[in-house]
Structure 1
Amino acid sequence: MARLFSYVVRYDSGFAPNPFYGYCTLATCKPTIRKAAAINDWIVGTGSANKARNRGTRIVHAMKVTETTDFRSYWGDPRFTRKRPLRRGSRKQSCGDNIYFRSDDDSRWLQMDSFHTNPDGSLRPEHVNRDTGTDRVLISNDYYYFGGEGPHIPAQFRDASRYDLCRKVRQRKRLDDDDWIAEFIGWLRTFGDPGYYGRPLDWVLEDG
Structure 2
Amino acid sequence: MPKNVQKLKLSDPLFDKLKSFDGRLYSYVVAHDIGFAPNPYFGFCTLACCKPTIRKHAREGDWIVGLTSRENGTNRIVYFMRVDERLESFESYWKDPRFESKKRSTASDEAQLGDNIYKVDKRGNYTQVESKHSDGPRENTENKERDLKGKAILVGTTFTYFGENAVELPPELQPLVIGRGHRSHFDEEVRSDFVKFVCRIGIRGKCGNPAKYRVQLLTSTCTEKVAQRQLERKGCGGC
| TM-score w.r.t. length of structure 1 | 0.87
Residue 29 of structure 1: aligned partner: 50
Residue 111 of structure 1: aligned partner: 128
| Runs of 4+ that moved beyond 3 A | 204-207
Residue 221 of structure 2: aligned partner: none
User: Please, which of 82, 101, 119 is the counterpart of residue 101 of structure 2?
Assistant: 82
Q: Provide the rounded CA distance (Å) in 1 between the counterparts of 2:214 and 2:187.
A: 34
**Shift, 1:203, TM fit:** 2.1
Residue 64 of structure 1: aligned partner: 82
Q: Secondary structure at the match of 1:20?
A: coil
**Shift, 1:91, TM fit:** 2.5
Identical-pair percentage: 37
Residue 178 of structure 2: aligned partner: 167
Residue 17 of structure 1: aligned partner: 38
Structure 1, gaps ≥5 residues long: 159-163
**Shift, 1:166, TM fit:** 1.8
Q: Provide the rounded CA distance (Å) in 1 between the counterparts of 2:76 and 2:204.
A: 18
Q: Provide the rounded CA distance (Å) in 1 between the counterparts of 2:45 and 2:102.
A: 10
Residue 115 of structure 2: aligned partner: 97
> How many pairs does the alignment contain?
195
Distance 1:55 1:23, change over 3 A: farther
**Shift, 1:176, TM fit:** 4.1
**Shift, 1:55, TM fit:** 8.6
- Answering whether residue 167 of structure 2 is matched by residue 156 of structure 1, we say no
Distance 1:205 1:177, change over 3 A: farther
Q: Please tell me the root mean square deviation across aligned C-alpha atoms, in Å.
A: 2.0
Q: Provide the rounded CA distance (Å) in 2 between the counterparts of 1:36 and 1:181.
A: 18
Q: Secondary structure at the match of 1:201?
A: coil
Structure 2, gaps ≥5 residues long: 1-21, 218-239
Higher helix share: 2
